[in-house]
Structure 1
Amino acid sequence: MGRLGSTGRRVLLRMKSGERRYAATSRELDWLCRFRMGAAMDLKGVRAFCSVAEGGGFSRAAAAQGVAQSVLSRQVSALEQELGGRLFHRTGRGVKPTEFGEALLPRARALLAEADQLAAEARGEGASPVGSVDLGIVPGWAQPLVSVLTARVLADYPRLRLRVHEAYSGQIEAWIATGRVEVAVFNRYRRGAVRGAEQVSRCDMMLVGPKGHPALKRRDVPFRSLDGVALCGPVRPNGLTTVMSEVAARHDVALNFVLEGSSSAILREAVLRCGLCTVFPRPFVEREMAGPGFAASRIVKPSLEQATWLAVGTQRPATLAARTVARLVREILKGR
């Protein structure tokens, strides 16, 4: 089975008929998957594939669907035979999608969402979105957004289901580009438009540290105050640390990152327990670090700003469910 490439790159697929290989762009591949999985396959196989991938194993997926494990196994095997490739690797703890399976999974989920929406429209329920939506979101916005969004969905769109994936901006942007998520919320730290996305928030960046830290005596602190300060920050490569390093080089400031963490919770704990400083956006500081153990100052001369962007995937036409989630996210973020 050939590797599946990114948009515009030629990829190779071994078709079911013998060993003939087919060259296609990812857009052609998307059409091929839709045709073969929609027209030639029973949707039960596609649904079984998605359920096993989400559950991480056949037994968990069977329990969730209320069917025998052997039934799911036969459905997935039939789909693998029809598509001409293995969809899962068997591991000691269950199953994991192959590279081929990972590439098809977003398209399979979209196909099911479209099928569910079509069924709803046939029942006269077309105004109400149906199906699952994959949302990618950066850690700084996850806590307020996900809870408010879930409450809105439960109240107004009971047939919608959310799958939320948290990661830093670079990973989120990669996911939306490849179709792994349908709606994305990510940050940028440079001015300028982002193609295919809309800005929903802009805020100051703050230097945050333990109460009484000598670098945090004033309400505003110049960037040069970071010189030599023991810092913690997100794991690199990361957009914020990249911009900070560029500014530091221009102003002859030595940044001293002694800890890199993969979540905001790790960095917050490092500030509270280890006496380190970090840089967070103002809304996060006001929400999560307003307690008596913290101090914060706005970074100026030059200032650092965070712009938050909302994007809907373009790998395939957005479903009504995805458009609805994007609209709700927009309303929530712009209202903060």
Structure 2
Amino acid sequence: MNLESLKLFVQLAELGSMTKVAFAQDCIQSVISRRVTALERECGAKLFYRTGRGVALTDFAETMLPRIKALLAEAEQISKEMKAGAGIPIGEVRIGLLPSLSTPTIQTLFRRTHERFPGVLLHIFEGSNGQIDEWLNSGRVDIGILFRYGGSVANQEQVLGVVDTYLVGRAGDRLTSKPTIEFDKLSDVPLVLPGAPNGLRLTLEQFSKRAHINLRIVMEADSLPLQKEFAASGCAYAVLGGHAISREVNAGILQASRIIDAKLGRTVVLATTTQRPLSHAGREVGKELRLILDDLFANKTFK
């Protein structure tokens, strides 16, 4: 089974029409039909159903599609690295990270990789912890930067540091006027929090039950800018990491108190996909990410 046949399979799965594939490959539809028939014969299984609008994947083909995409991506990367020669990294590196970790990280990463590895293309995905875990497991991203709660870190994950958690309000707010605040002071305070499932939300709910306090959630918002906007307006308080609010606090837009008496610190980890080995470019980008985050923690940008 050659790579061209597998590329045809993926292209047809994405376009859903032999006519469209034939047009894209500048050939007649009967040629595509014969190639698909030959591929199905070689696989020993039916891959496509013919429909009134084109073709659709069979259940078997649906299960094989992610693996074939990963195989083709790896083959393309190997080809690029062989052509590059002299061990120079080249190709696409896909990174998934939380929005709160993106701003202080990605611009520096781009500058460094652009200067050192001009043949590397960064593809950035922002998402929640759960989404990033899913992307890593499916191979959609090569590297993930995300939070772990309660000190639970997998063996293959690299710990980069721990960020503290703050109660965030508007500038001049009385409740957040001191550097620290006890966790039980959050009882009945109007809060804007991410919707479940969310690691921080789950941790807050667990600690509130243990402390016998009521978490008064007045709004759910998965958007970090929206959480900060509501906190700045005085409508509700947000619960965020110090790194996510440092600019607004320094500018006098937000005010924050570090929450104590509860283990709400979040461990920042670097994880890699288990679907395939990291390419040379992926390994180099991973090294740069670790150095950047080490500097941010050392300079207390992340706290």
Classify the TM-score, shorter chain: 0.7 to 0.9
Distance 2:206 2:85 in 1: 53
Q: Give the CA deviation at 1:105.
A: 4.3
How far apart in 1 are the matches of 2:185 and 2:120?
Answer: 48
- Paired AA for residue 292 in structure 2: I
Check if 1:117 corresponds to 2:78: yes
Contiguous gaps of at least 5 residues in structure 1? 1-38, 63-67
Cα 1:135–1:124 change in 2 (3 A) is closer
Note the alpha carbon deviations across 1:260-317, whole angstroms, 9 max, x for none: 1122112112212352111111122213443222110010012420111101111222
Change (3 A) 1:218 1:176: same
The corresponding residue for 2:196 is 236
- The C-alpha deviation readout for 1:172-228, integer Å capped at 9, x for no partner, is 112212222211111022124323211112121111111232321211100011111
* Distance in 2 of aligned mates of 1:268 and 1:321: 36
SS of 2:88's partner is coil
Q: Radius of gyration: which is bigger? A: 2
Asked if the contact 2:3–2:72 (Cα under 8 Å) also holds between the matched residues in 1, the reply is no
Partner-residue secondary structure (3-state), 1:216: coil
> Which residue does the alignment assign to 1:211?
171
Deviations 1:58-105 (A, max 9, x none): 9xx99xxxxx74549979878865365359x999xxxx9998568634
Amino acid aligned to 2:78: Q
- What is aligned with 1:267? 227
Match of 1:108 among 69, 82, 86: 69
Aligned-pair RMSD on alpha carbons? Answer: 3.6
Secondary structure, aligned partner of 2:164: strand
1:215 aligned counterpart, secondary structure: coil
* 1:251 Cα deviation after fit: 0.7
Label 1:132 to 1:85 Cα distance change in 2 as closer, same or farther (>3 A). farther
Percent identity over the alignment is 23
The aligned residue for residue 175 of structure 1 is 135
Distance 1:188 1:297 in 2: 22
Aligned partners of 2:97 and 2:146 also within 8 Å: yes
Asked if the contact 1:176–1:312 (Cα under 8 Å) also holds between the matched residues in 2, the reply is yes
Cα shift at 1:170: 1.5
Report 1 or 2 for greater relative contact order, CA contacts < 8 Å, sequence distance ≥ 6: 2
Q: CA deviation at 1:240?
A: 0.4
Structure 1: distance between partners of 2:57 and 2:123: 17
Alignment-derived partner of residue 300 in structure 2: none
SS in 1 for 2:140: coil
TM-superposition CA deviations, 1:121-157 (whole Å, max 9, x none): 2x46241122222211111111222222222222111
